[in-house]
Chain A
Amino acid sequence: MTLLKTTELAIIGAGPAGICAALEAASYGVEVTLIDRGDMPGGQLVKQTHKFFGWHEKSAGTRGVVIARDLAQRARKDPNVQFMGSTEALGYYKDDGTLLLETPYGIEGVKPKRLLVATGASEKMLLFPGNDLPGVYGAGAVQTLMNVHGVRPGQSVLMIGSGNIGLIVSYQLAQAGVHVEALVEALPQIGGYAVHASKIRRLGIPILTKHSIKEAYGERCVEGAVIWEIDDRWQGIPGSERDLKVDVICLATGLSPLCEFLWQAGAEMTYIPALGGFVPVYDENMQTTLSGVYVAGDVASIEEASTAMAEGYLAGVAIAHSLGKISDVDFEAKRKGYLKELEQLRAGPTSKKIVEGLAVLRDETGKRVSV
């Protein structure tokens, strides 16, 4: 006989997806264990000082930090949600359903009836000479350093990538009193929303499209960067080099789903570049090919926090239904509502790629779970 602790639902990752799933499932009486390596729920929302678009009447125009505080408070107050902070999930063993955790007090095994993996994403690296020098940071890292811990990353920054993250973080750097020398973008057009790009331009930060970094240099850390123009075949144009005296190079070149845990657990994975690379195969209710193991948020496809929250709610109600906590009729109504919300969130032209990626995924899912 084992003496492993049991729980109805274990959630790995207390970011927007994980917390929303926890609140949703808990509202139907599911007993939830919400696990995060950080000591507070909130995930990466805690460093988003900008106002969000879209999501519900409630959160549109609300800053990420405020949404994080609100969600974290609701999770902590909910009697059905137990938060386990400073805890890392080490592995899931599908044969006997054990989830292994490293807590501040040692290794612990838990047997959850359902498991939701909401581990989020990690930042992509970019290949260029000198990319390993201290001073080359992910854009999210710079946000964490300045918006959570109140420390400036340096004096002068080169930002690489003009997606929303690159634009927003450039603006936040300026708010923190850091000089942004330039923002370079390899494509001929700006990737993010025009509203964010205009704010950057008004601050006088040049946005250089069809430009990339050639190299970073410095003895022990970044002392400068050479940028150059690139042609239609992504090759640097000799003679177009410019030397920028910067001590920080910030990479905003995209995110990859943080899905190592799912590989280990044995979920089937597939490669869909439009969704961010390797992603788990999952059905419309966010269930992976492992029965009882669900996903939500960036680990399922790289999108916005608002989408992650909607996926969290969807997974939460699906899990509650699978545990018999909600009637078929009520579940179907709820499910339809969340699917509709997801559809609306993905209606814009910037989500076209995601919608196409999800169609590929649905095909894959159809092939693999039709048995």
Chain B
Amino acid sequence: MRIKNHPILDFEEKERVKFYWEGEELWGYEGEPIASALHAAGIKVLHESIKRSHPRGFFCAIGNCSSCLVIVDGVPNVRACTEKLRAGMRVEMQKGVGPALSSKE
């Protein structure tokens, strides 16, 4: 899914980092949005809707619509389309409203 040759654009090589999706090890580029790393790995379903548990992916990709909410390192309601990927991140699909944060956090 990654574009290697483009007639107009050059994509600079960024550092590859390991992260986790639903516990599974994946690789992406440091600093790219989580959604783009997941999409490149063929993962499109990021969230399940609150009322009917319908699958949801990203829609706007610029942080407007909240269709792509995921859980990152235990924190719910993170927009996968704007949150930057970091090494070791643990990303999970958010089902409905997601878990409440515990008071320890």
A149→B59 contact, CB < 8 A: no
Distance in Å: Cβ of A299 to nearest Cβ of chain B: 13
**Contacts of B5 on A, CB cut-off 8 Å?**
177
The yes or no answer to A168 lying at the interface (CB within 8 A) is no
The yes or no answer to B2 lying at the interface (CB within 8 A) is yes
Identify which of B3, B35, B46 gathers the most chain A CB atoms within 10 Å of its CB. B3
Distance in Å: Cβ of A106 to nearest Cβ of chain B: 16
The yes or no answer to B64 lying at the interface (CB within 8 A) is yes
Give B1-60 interface residues, CB cut-off 8 Å to A. 1-3, 5-9, 11, 32-33, 35-36, 39-40, 44-46, 49, 54-60
Using CB atoms, name the residue of chain B closest to A221: B44
Give A24-38 interface residues, CB cut-off 8 Å to B. 37-38
The yes or no answer to A62 lying at the interface (CB within 8 A) is no
Give A86-130 interface residues, CB cut-off 8 Å to B. 122-123
Number of A-B contacts (CB under 8 A): 88
Identify which of A135, A151, A176 gathers the most chain B CB atoms within 10 Å of its CB. A151
A141→B2 contact, CB < 8 A: no
How many residues in B have their beta carbons less than 8 Å from beta carbons of A? 33
Interface mask (A249-285 → B, CB under 8 Å = 1, otherwise 0): 0000000001000000000000000000000000000
A142 to B64 Cα, complex, angstroms:
14
B60→A141 contact, CB < 8 A: yes
The yes or no answer to B63 lying at the interface (CB within 8 A) is yes
Q: Choose one: A49, A133, A141, A221; the contact of B62 (CB below 8 Å).
A: A141
A141→B45 contact, CB < 8 A: no
Q: Decide yes or no: A145 and B9 within 8 Å by CB, A37-B82, A134-B45 being known contacts.
A: no
Q: Decide yes or no: A177 and B60 within 8 Å by CB, A134-B46, A147-B9, A221-B45 being known contacts.
A: no
A142 to B82 Cα, complex, angstroms:
14
Using CB atoms, name the residue of chain B closest to A137: B59
Interface size class of A (residues with CB under 8 A): 20 to 34
**Contacts of B62 on A, CB cut-off 8 Å?**
44, 140-141, 144
Using CB atoms, name the residue of chain B closest to A132: B54
Distance in Å: Cβ of B22 to nearest Cβ of chain A: 14
The yes or no answer to A153 lying at the interface (CB within 8 A) is yes
The yes or no answer to A339 lying at the interface (CB within 8 A) is no
The yes or no answer to B65 lying at the interface (CB within 8 A) is yes
Using CB atoms, name the residue of chain A closest to B35: A145
Distance in Å: Cβ of A368 to nearest Cβ of chain B: 28
The yes or no answer to B61 lying at the interface (CB within 8 A) is yes
Q: Decide yes or no: A37 and B9 within 8 Å by CB, A132-B49, A151-B39, A151-B40 being known contacts.
A: no
Distance in Å: Cβ of A266 to nearest Cβ of chain B: 22
Give A137-158 interface residues, CB cut-off 8 Å to B. 137-138, 140-142, 144-147, 149-153
Q: Choose one: B33, B39, B60; the contact of A123 (CB below 8 Å).
A: B60
Distance in Å: Cβ of B49 to nearest Cβ of chain A: 7
A123 to B64 Cα, complex, angstroms:
9
Distance in Å: Cβ of B55 to nearest Cβ of chain A: 5
**Contacts of B36 on A, CB cut-off 8 Å?**
145, 149, 151
**Contacts of B55 on A, CB cut-off 8 Å?**
133-134, 220-221
A136 to B59 Cα, complex, angstroms:
7
**Contacts of A49 on B, CB cut-off 8 Å?**
8-9
Distance in Å: Cβ of A223 to nearest Cβ of chain B: 11
**Contacts of B82 on A, CB cut-off 8 Å?**
37-38
Distance in Å: Cβ of B21 to nearest Cβ of chain A: 14
The yes or no answer to A65 lying at the interface (CB within 8 A) is yes
A137→B61 contact, CB < 8 A: yes
**Contacts of B39 on A, CB cut-off 8 Å?**
145, 151, 153
Identify which of B7, B45, B55 gathers the most chain A CB atoms within 10 Å of its CB. B55
Residues of A within 8 A of B (CB): 37-38, 44, 49, 63, 65, 122-123, 132-138, 140-142, 144-147, 149-153, 175-177, 220-221, 258
Subset of 19 A-B contacts with CB under 8 Å: A37-B82, A49-B9, A122-B64, A123-B64, A133-B57, A134-B44, A134-B45, A134-B57, A144-B61, A145-B36, A150-B6, A151-B1, A151-B3, A151-B36, A175-B6, A176-B6, A177-B3, A220-B44, A220-B55
Residues of B within 8 A of A (CB): 1-3, 5-9, 11, 32-33, 35-36, 39-40, 44-46, 49, 54-65, 81-82
Q: A133-B57, A141-B81, A151-B40 are in contact. List 11 more A-B contacts (CB 8 A).
A: A37-B82, A135-B44, A137-B58, A140-B60, A145-B36, A150-B9, A152-B2, A175-B7, A177-B5, A220-B44, A220-B55
